[in-house]
A and B are shown apart, each in its own frame.
Chain A
Amino acid sequence: MSNEGSLSTVTLTVNGHRYASEVEPRTLLSDFLRDDLRLTGTHLGCEHGVCGACTIIWNGAAARSCVALAVQADGAEIRTVEGMAEDGQLHPIQQAFHEAHGLQCGFCTPGFLMTVSDLLERYPDPTEDEIRAEISSNICRCTGYQTIVEAVRLAAAKLKEEV
């Protein structure tokens, strides 16, 4: 496929819905989700791949949507924060963040939720060191992380109960 300055088609699945859209190749995946699909829960905190606010689940793995082109996600299966709660019921990870006060301003929260859902799939019973190392991919400026660490522990417990 080639493209010279014109638009490219991106077809992908986001939170179980299929979308097809024409984009400029330079469109970032984060901007595509936010501006074209109006899924504004994915936030932009740095646009250079450090803060993690734009983290999504891409083909099952947490990834930064601000350092990816939308065209790279052609054919991908994406999950965003909007896909977590079902029928108005918070996902256990969201519920754990709520109960443990794991958010203040809430701007970093969607990215943390995505990171943590990937984390808990790999480490169902993480130690504090594992939690801190894994979530060090995301910046929160409000909490000092203590309540987020507690939220991850609580989420792990909730998910185990569910199984």
Chain B
Amino acid sequence: MKPAQFDYYRPTSIEETAALLERFDGDVSVLAGGQSLVPLLNMRMARPGAIVDLGRVPDLDYIEERDGHLAIGAMARQRAVYESELARRTCPLLVEALSLVGHTPIRSRGTVGGSLAHADPAAELPAVLSALGGSVKCVGSDGERVLSAGEFFVTFLTTALMPGEFVTEARFPILPEHSGACFTEVARRHGDFALVGVGAAVTLPEGGDVCSAAHIALNGAGMTPVKPEHVEAALAGRQLDDAAIDAAASDVGAWVEPSNDIHADSEYRKHLATVLTKRALHTARRRASRGEQ
């Protein structure tokens, strides 16, 4: 299990990176933390002609609050985000999800941007981006564009990135006061990809019980992270009582279309979608009303 040969490039600017990616026209992989790519190289399931390492591109390693978003640069390590006070304060859903991403040594190297760009529908971080309605900034030789999560995640391991484009920043919207969030999942083992995971957040203005906005997305429940927008819409403006949560959870379970694999069949995953949505909404509601986020 050793990688096949590839040409290796370590550009020192975003422009140089974009030019290299364009030059190889698809037969190239972007290396950020490497926690998804290098195992695939070792197994020779990925055999790019060239690898472009973002490790020396300056100004990609940051965690900032900007324009109502938590902005995370492409080379910010998951561990740094997990340990960031700013992230904990502004985007607790992301931090809770990060505790479920692999293990500490994986998060030491793995990046938030890399996980999003890998677009594994079983992974937690794409679900967080979807739930919060976040976006990614992509740069190519034609310039930059910002794609919403819904636009970005196309299907299994596939994003809307064009050949020559790469992710430079992920943007997670910061929820208003009186919001609460919860990420929960069932995995076969601690640190494994989830069978199903649910990220949910609700806002209960002035600590009341009327929900002004609800955010939900699931991993392990389809070919991309899935966002039951009709359920979110149905909860908005409603009293968030147990009956409303039950109804939302059932709707989510009925709506998702997960696939089968050796660890769980579709039916079990649909069941988990219901159970976990309910649990996530209950916890999010409690956190919102206690002001603990």
Contacts and interface: CB of A to CB of B under 8 A. Distances in A.
Do A and B come into direct contact in the complex, CB within 8 Å? yes
The A interface is mostly helix, strand or loop, or mixed, namely mixed
Interface string B101-127: 011111011000000000000000000
B67 interface: no
B190 A5 contact: no
Contacts of B4: 26
Nearest to B9: A2
A23 to B, nearest CB: 10
Given A61-B79, A137-B104, A68 B9 contact: no
A149 B156 CA distance: 38
B159 interface: no
B34 to A, nearest CB: 6
A72 B55 contact: yes
For A5, A31, A55, A67, the residue with the greatest tally of chain B CB atoms inside 10 Å of its CB is A67
Interface string A103-147: 000000000000100110000000000000110110000000000
B53 interface: yes
Contacts of B238: none
Interface string B1-37: 1111111111110000000000000000001001100
Interface stretch (B38-46, B129-137, B143-151, B170-178): B38-46
A64 to B, nearest CB: 5
B31 A3 contact: no
B230 to A, nearest CB: 36
Contact of B34 (A26, A72, A115): A72
B66 interface: no
Interface stretch (A11-19, A46-54, A82-90, A154-162): A46-54
B191 interface: yes
A8 interface: yes
A133 B38 contact: no
A5 B39 CA distance: 20
Given A25-B51, A48-B43, A137 B9 contact: no
B189 interface: yes
Contacts of B53: 69, 71-72
B89 interface: no
Nearest to B8: A25
Contacts of B106: 49, 64, 137
A137 B103 CA distance: 5
Given A1-B56, A66-B42, A71 B105 contact: no
Interface residues of A, number: 34
Contact of A62 (B38, B51, B108): B108
A69 B34 CA distance: 8
A118 B42 contact: no
A140 B205 CA distance: 49
B18 to A, nearest CB: 15
Contacts of A58: 108-109
A48 B190 contact: no
For B4, B103, B106, the residue with the greatest tally of chain A CB atoms inside 10 Å of its CB is B103
Nearest to A71: B8
A62 B34 contact: no
Contact of A49 (B3, B38, B51, B189): B38
A76 to B, nearest CB: 10
Interface string A57-98: 010011110111101100000000000000000000000000
B185 to A, nearest CB: 14
Interface string B174-195: 0000000000000001110000
B108 A49 contact: no
Nearest to B102: A137
A52 B105 contact: yes
A2 B1 contact: no
B105 A55 contact: yes
Interface of A: 1-5, 8, 24-26, 28, 31, 47-49, 52, 55, 58, 61-64, 66-69, 71-72, 115, 118-119, 133-134, 136-137
Give the 10 A-B CB pairs with smallest separation, nearest first.
A137-B103, A25-B8, A61-B108, A67-B38, A48-B39, A47-B1, A62-B105, A26-B3, A1-B10, A4-B7
